[in-house]
Amino acid sequence: MTTAPSARDRSGVVARLRAAGCVFAEDEARLLVAATDTPAELAAMVERRVAGVPLEHLLGWAEFLGLRIAVDPGVFVPRRRTEFLAAQATALTPPHAVVLDLCCGSGAVGAALAAAVPGIELHAVDIDAAAVRCARRNLAAAGGHVYRGDLYEPLPDALRGGVDVLVANAPYVPTESIGLMPPEARLHEPRAALDGGRDGLDVLRRVAAAAPDWLAPAGHLLVETSARQAPSTVQAVAAAGLRPRVVAAPERGATVVIATVIATATTTVTSPAG
């Protein structure tokens, strides 16, 4: 016979998590207690959390816009600030649109779009094998197509010129800043999901440069960036021939650049009456 963790066990967990610097110790303790069947299991999980393992990797899921997103060990954990990116994309996505989620990680943004907008055709890409496996599970119910590869490389050519909404939560941390990140990110998430190169914008520039080839007329590109990097992100998007604007939610620490395909005027030539 096993004994479930008690209220006393939970109280002890809260104290340990607080001592380890966990800001939301009570919430984390509640989730860890609910995820375990015995005090021994709880103690082992708390030890791993105190050692820096992300809570989402311990639980096997993360909450994202009210959805429970599966997150396997080693997979990038969807951030709460990225809910702002998903909300902005949702507002621009009509029913039955073709949506492409680049650098999809667990597939959280695509899953949120599929839950909010009926009938979308969803495609998602990530370079990390573990992330692709995770995203396939999270997007299966929506009929999502998940590919492994470098940005646009694995996509079917039939998608060119047909994507209504292209969303990308690409890595944008400058290489020299990786070492300053919390251990749970830099030690437990894939480097490719964090490192954006010298100024953090290497991947975002590549996303923007090729986006016009894949977007439909009047299609939209949405990328997450930082407030400090927003001007350079705007420049990269504009250089690709798209019309950018910046939206932000400072209380969430969220900044998104939205870029739209610039409509080309068509000239009608009228033959002179003869």
pLDDT band, residue 201 (cuts 50/70/90): very high
Q: What is the pLDDT of residue 20?
A: 87
Q: Are 165 and 220 in contact (CB under 8 A)?
A: yes
CA dihedral over 156, 162, 168, 170, signed as positive or negative: positive
Higher-scoring residue by pLDDT: 216, 184: 216
Q: Are 195 and 173 in contact (CB under 8 A)?
A: yes
Q: What is the pLDDT of residue 190?
A: 92
Q: Give 206-259 pLDDT, tens digit per residue.
A: 999 999 999 999 999 999 999 999 999 999 999 999 999 999 999 999 999 999
Tokens of 260: 């739209």
**Residue type at 33 in one-letter notation:** V
pTM of the model: 0.90
For the domain covering 82-261, report its CATH number.
3.40.50.150
Q: What is the pLDDT of residue 158?
A: 97
- Asked whether residue 273 carries a pLDDT value surpassing 90, the answer given is no
Q: Give 74-108 pLDDT, tens digit per residue.
A: 999 999 999 999 999 999 999 999 999 999 999 99
Q: Are 200 and 173 in contact (CB under 8 A)?
A: yes
Q: Give 7-42 pLDDT, tens digit per residue.
A: 556 778 999 999 988 888 999 999 999 999 999 999
Q: Where are the domains of the chain?
A: 7-51, 82-261
CA nearest 141: which of 191, 169, 107? 107
Q: Give 145-161 pLDDT, tens digit per residue.
A: 999 999 999 999 999 99
pLDDT band, residue 269 (cuts 50/70/90): very low
User: Mean pLDDT throughout 58-70?
Assistant: 97
Tokens of 193: 């999901």
Q: What is the pLDDT of residue 2?
A: 58
Task: Compute the distance between CA of residue 148 and CA of residue 224 in angstroms, rounded to an integer.
Answer: 21
Task: Compute the distance between CA of residue 159 and CA of residue 156 in angstroms, rounded to an integer.
Answer: 6
Annotate the chain with DSSP letters as a single string: ------HHHHHHHHHHHHHTT-TTHHHHHHHHHHH-SSHHHHHHHHHHHHTT--HHHHHTEEEETTEEEE--TTSPPPPTTHHHHHHHHHHH--TT-EEEEES-TTTHHHHHHHHHSTT-EEEEEES-HHHHHHHHHHHGGGT-EEEESSTTTTS-GGGTT-EEEEEE----B-GGGGGGS-HHHHTTS-GGGTB--TTS-HHHHHHHHHHHHHEEEEEEEEEEE-TTTHHHHHHHHHHTTEEEEEEEEGGGTEEEEEEEEPPPP--PPPPPP-
